A and B are shown apart, each in its own frame.
Chain A
Amino acid sequence: MKRHLISAADLSRDDAVLILDTAAELASVAGRPIRKLPTLRGLTVVNLFYEDSTRTRTSFEAAAKRLSADVINFSAKGSSVAKGESLKDTALTLEAMGADAVVIRHGASGAAHRLAGWVTGSVLNAGDGTHEHPTQALLDAFTIRQRLGGSGGTPDQRGGALDGVRVTIVGDVLHSRVARSNVLLLSTLGAEVTVVAPPTLMPFAVDTWPCKASYDLDSELRKSDVVMMLRVQQERMSAAYFPSVREYRRRYGLDSGRMALLPEHAIVMHPGPMNRGVEIAAEVADSPRSTIVAQVSNGVIVRMAVLYLLLGGAGEAAA
């Protein structure tokens, strides 16, 4: 493993499987009377959040605390960032406080990469603009393996990857860091990924991505093991990408009629937060096929696995 987790592309297949196996082992800790491990005692993890987030920040916080690390939460609102401090100066301040890891969410693509050049600790990308969100992709891969079973692993799924699993990612692919990280990670794990989006929300260079692209949701649903709905990100849309929410819903929304097209075993995922009634109908979100709640609880254990593997051992240099 590298020292930082900036992009899902940094992970080799072996790295990714190691993270999933570690998370599977850590899942048993959640069921114990004492849900805490002493592994990262004495280390400091800083949550540096320039964008609003509920589940990612609390998930990282819970993960770090369960490994006994000290957590400092830093949100741009109400801090010296509001007074005009630059990312670099903030980073140097955190460095001076002795942060062993910085979890950063920032509105600018590449912010995590820049930060990694300024601090000595590990940098974990918790979402940078429209670029990447690797831990979300890892928890999605973990959820898929948990629900559908892995390929080539032991009966308890250890060592298993996702070879041959057909994943369809639907919606605002253009602005979605979740989609980008998932395409990279799931294809590394052997899954066959298809992205479906309206032409205006399809990235220009999608042909260079390790996935297929389509504009027709209904035909893709029939051959999907996993369908992942993306949030329509009103806050990143400066132009009109589709005529109306109603038209988007009719062509790309997942309602119970469309869910019926899916094969029996297929699951429905959503990274949250959901716009119920836009990309996903309420009855679909609440159906037994939906893994949305499992994704949240898996988020904590996958982030524990990442923190342990990045911080738990000696650095690469000392090895």
Chain B
Amino acid sequence: MCAMRPEPGHEQGASSPGWKAVLTPEEIRRALSRIAHEILERTHGGEGIVLLGIPTRGVPLARRLAERIGEFEGTPAPYGSLDVTMHRDDLRLRPARALQRTEVPSGGVDGKTVVLVDDVLFSGRTIRAALDALNDLGRPRAVQLAVLVDRGHRELPIRADYVGKNLPTAYREVVRVLLDETDGEESVLLGERDQ
């Protein structure tokens, strides 16, 4: 949920002119497999981890990572979703938004290693809100961040632990992540704003 992602306009498909595909479905799959391995490596076999996706597209990504970890290690990782709407710093800039689902696995987050999962890391403000939201849910032992795309232009001192693709962008450009679960197609697109 990067602040600059254009909310309307998801209906534009990958074929629309002006959009350049930067990740294909296979590349997304490989990136997620690599991230899953990296998570296992960094957390010593995924002990005590909880994957929390940030709606909308972080949630299916968290589920996919949890499934990969299950395939690699035999025990699936608990996953859930974390809505950050009520903690955002730009609430007063736009009309009130509908809340998304927050679902924490039954074990809670206390003493766990929480891996936040989002599609695009941009300003870092969504992650700041997620850290605050997480704080209200309990006290994790550690918090890590996994993103499919890091497009730069951070406005806060926040950095991802696991990155699918580092994508240098111009500020005016827009990154769109399309996933089967939410959009019915699978790709990462780069385009100019106001198309």
List residues of chain B with CB within 8 A of the CB of A313: 91-92, 94-97
CA–CA, A211 to B86, complex, Å?
37
Q: Nearest chain-B residue to A37 (Cβ)?
A: B86
For this complex, into which size category does the number of interface residues on chain B fall?
Answer: 20 to 34
Q: Among B99, B102, B132, point to the contact of A22 (Cβ < 8 A).
A: B99
B136 pairs with A25, CB closer than 8 A: no
Closest Cβ of chain A: how far from B140's Cβ, in Å? Answer: 13
A279-319 contacts to B (CB < 8 Å): 308-314, 316, 318-319
Which residue of chain B lies nearest to A313 when distances are taken between CB atoms in the complex? Answer: B96
Asked if B30 is at the interface (CB within 8 A of a chain A CB), the reply is no
Chain B residue nearest in CB terms to A319 = B95
Stretch binding the partner chain, chosen from A28-36, A111-119, A195-203:
A28-36
Does A274 interact with chain B (Cβ within 8 Å)?
no
CB of B36, distance to nearest CB on chain A (Å): 28
Q: From B99, which residue of chain A is reached at the shortest CB distance?
A: A25
| Interface SS, B side | loop
Most buried by A among B91, B94, B96, B137: B96
Tell me the chain B residues, 84-124 only, with Cβ under 8 Å from chain A: 86-87, 91-102
Q: Which residues of A contact B102 (CB under 8 A)?
A: 25, 28
Query: Nearest CB to that of B96 among chain A residues?
Result: A313
Least Cβ–Cβ distance between B67 and chain A, in angstroms:
21
Which residues from B are CB-within-8-Å of A310? 96
Known: A22-B98, A313-B95. A308 touches B137 (CB 8 A): no
What bracket does the count of chain A residues touching chain B fall in? 20 to 34
Chain B CB within 8 A of A26 CB: yes
Chain A nearest CB from B59 CB (Å) reads 14
Interface string of B15-34 (1 = CB under 8 A from A): 00000000000000000000
> In the complex, which of the residues B86, B87, B93, B99 contacts A314, with contact meaning CB atoms closer than 8 Å?
B93
| Cβ B98 vs Cβ A39 within 8 A | no
Interface presence of A91 (CB below 8 A):
no
| Given A36-B136, A37-B87, A39-B86: A26 touches B99 (CB 8 Å cut-off) | yes
- A38's partner among B97, B100, B101, B132 (CB-CB below 8 A) is B132
Task: Answer whether A33 and B97 are a contact pair too, CB < 8 Å, given A28-B102, A312-B91, A313-B91.
Answer: no
8 Å CB interface, A2-29 against B = 18, 21-22, 25-26, 28
Interface pair B136/A37, CB less than 8 Å apart? yes
Chain A nearest CB from B90 CB (Å) reads 9
Min Cβ gap B84→A in Å is: 11
Q: How far is the CA of A316 from the CA of B96 in the complex (A)?
A: 10
What's the minimum C-beta distance from B99 to chain A, rounded to whole angstroms? 4
Check B186 for interface membership: any CB of A closer than 8 A.
no
- How far apart sit A318 and B94, CA to CA, in the bound complex (Å)? 8
Judge if A76 is at the interface, Cβ distance under 8 Å. Answer: no
Report chain A residues within 8 Å CB of B6: none
A261 within 8 A of B: no
A to B CB contacts below 8 Å, 28 in the list: A1-B95, A21-B98, A22-B99, A25-B99, A25-B100, A25-B101, A25-B102, A26-B99, A32-B136, A33-B137, A33-B138, A34-B135, A36-B136, A37-B86, A37-B136, A38-B86, A39-B86, A39-B91, A308-B86, A308-B96, A310-B96, A312-B86, A312-B91, A312-B96, A313-B91, A314-B92, A314-B93, A314-B94
- 6 smallest A-B Cβ distances: which pairs? A313-B96, A25-B99, A313-B95, A312-B96, A34-B136, A39-B86
Which residues of B are in contact with A by a Cβ distance under 8 Å? 83, 86-87, 91-102, 132, 135-138
